[in-house]
Amino acid sequence: MTPQLASVLMPLMRGMDPERAHDLALRGLRFGLAGADRSADDPVLATRALGLDFRNPIGLAAGFDKSAVAIAPLMRLGFGFVEAGSVTPKPQIGNPKPRLFRLAEDRAVINRMGMNNGGLAVFLARLAHLPANRPAVLGVNIAINKDGAAPLRDYPALYAAVAPHAGYVAINVSSPNTPGLRDLQGEAMLRDILAAVVATRDALAGPRPPILVKIAPDLSPAAVEPIVETAVAQGIAGLIVSNTTIARPALRSAQKSQAGGLSGPPLKAAATELLRRVARLTAGRDLTLIGCGGVSNGADALEKIRAGAALVQLYAAFAYDGPALIPRMKRELAAALRRDGFKTVAEAIGVDAR
């Protein structure tokens, strides 16, 4: 089966309960039912970030495959990178159902999943079976359990555990669905967490993947600069801008009032504006930005790159359009880069943030 044929089935999936459809999609991916994108990427898309080579700058955001069920099949769909997780130290069932909602009229999603995942042991066992020669970079997103968490213990331990398998590790302190998690973005607590993770990284004898922090789009303007300064001071490699939002911009769907994090096109404007702000604050500094939030096509991807992102991520659009989205987005992004006079992705990074 090809990604295009697999995407033909998406209207059937949208007739199901969203969480059941998601679980079935992961199962189908695991067994190779989505096929693979065997076409060569346009050379204009090749880029280097975080000390890593990416075949293209388009990645799958964390949250789609929290327990690393289908990483290799997802990579074969043509992504430049796939971010697995969030993984927590212990298994976690998440919040009560229903907890995932389609906003079809807005092509958006609201989730209050609560980081349901199989826990670190299961996650590591699956990563251990991934081939060494992968078609995409693997990112791993780490977070703490809802109950019994000790951030200064758990984040460093998670980093050390996943480091042998990951191209980079993202620290999640911004999910709105775990009570108190966003409080960890406060300057003092974030500094202590990052210092502990960096100390663990520096003590490792094996691989030391770059560390990123994923931040919320709902930060007040006054809160953004301290986060950036803390990341720079601790030698963090980058920021992912941004997670889902608890804000509710103009929405049409009957599900618009559900509690949880909103993702998809309604998030794009706020997430991109935050990205531009962070890009201006980090100008001239060695901090890589990943743009996430509302990316649905090649034009959206280029907008994020021009706003300051070296790489971009998507989630909701993939849930709506299926595997055929990725080869289409790559063609659109390559055409858009050339149209705007760019010979490489790197040339376009941050041109609208200067």
Would you list the domain boundaries of the chain? 3-348
- Structure confidence at residue 4 as a pLDDT band (50, 70, 90): low
Q: Which two tokens stand for residue 130?
A: 């991934």
Residue 16 exposed, middle or buried by CB count within 10 Å (0-12, 13-18, 19+): middle
- Going by C-alpha positions, the residue among 2, 12, 68, 64 that lies closest to residue 33 is 2
Using one digit for the tens of pLDDT, what is the confidence trace for 333-343? 999 999 999 99
Q: Which two tokens stand for residue 65?
A: 């495959």
pTM of the full structure: 0.95
User: Percentage of the chain with pLDDT > 90?
Assistant: 87
Using one digit for the tens of pLDDT, what is the confidence trace for 291-345? 999 999 999 999 999 999 999 999 999 999 999 999 999 999 999 999 999 999 9
Angstrom distance (rounded) from CA 85 to CA 68: 7
User: Percentage of the chain with pLDDT > 70?
Assistant: 96
Fold entry, domain 3-348: TIM Barrel (3.20.20)
pLDDT of residue 14: 66
pLDDT of residue 183: 80
- Structure confidence at residue 132 as a pLDDT band (50, 70, 90): confident
Name which residue leads in pLDDT, 13 or 7: 13
Angstrom distance (rounded) from CA 337 to CA 173: 33
> What stretch of H or E contains 336?
helix 325-339
φ and ψ of 251, to 5 deg: -130, 150
Angstrom distance (rounded) from CA 169 to CA 163: 7
Q: Which two tokens stand for residue 241?
A: 């801008």
- Structure confidence at residue 149 as a pLDDT band (50, 70, 90): very high
Length of the chain: 354
Is the Cβ–Cβ distance between 342 and 348 less than 8 Å? Answer: yes
Is the Cβ–Cβ distance between 99 and 14 less than 8 Å? Answer: no
Using one digit for the tens of pLDDT, what is the confidence trace for 37-96? 999 999 999 999 999 999 999 999 999 999 999 999 999 999 999 999 999 999 999 999
Which residue type is seen at 268? K
Cβ within 8 Å of residue 90, ≥6 positions away: 119, 120, 145, 148
Which residue type is seen at 151? P
Mean pLDDT of the 125-148 span: 96
Cβ within 8 Å of residue 214, ≥6 positions away: 62, 141, 170, 171, 172, 173, 174, 239, 240, 242, 243
Question: Which stretch of 4-18, 43-57, 174-188 has the lowest confidence by average pLDDT?
Answer: 4-18
pLDDT of residue 35: 87
State how far the alpha carbon of 159 is from the alpha carbons of 18, 20, 188, 257, in Å. Answer: 31, 31, 20, 36
Count the helices and strands in the chain (H runs, E runs): 13, 13
- Please identify every residue annotated as catalytic: 175
pLDDT of residue 174: 87
Mean pLDDT of the 15-25 span: 92
Over 90: is that where the pLDDT of 124 sits?
Answer: yes
> What stretch of H or E contains 140?
strand 137-142
State how far the alpha carbon of 88 is from the alpha carbons of 22, 99, 163, 171, 174, in Å. Answer: 20, 19, 15, 11, 14
pLDDT of residue 176: 84
pLDDT of residue 10: 57
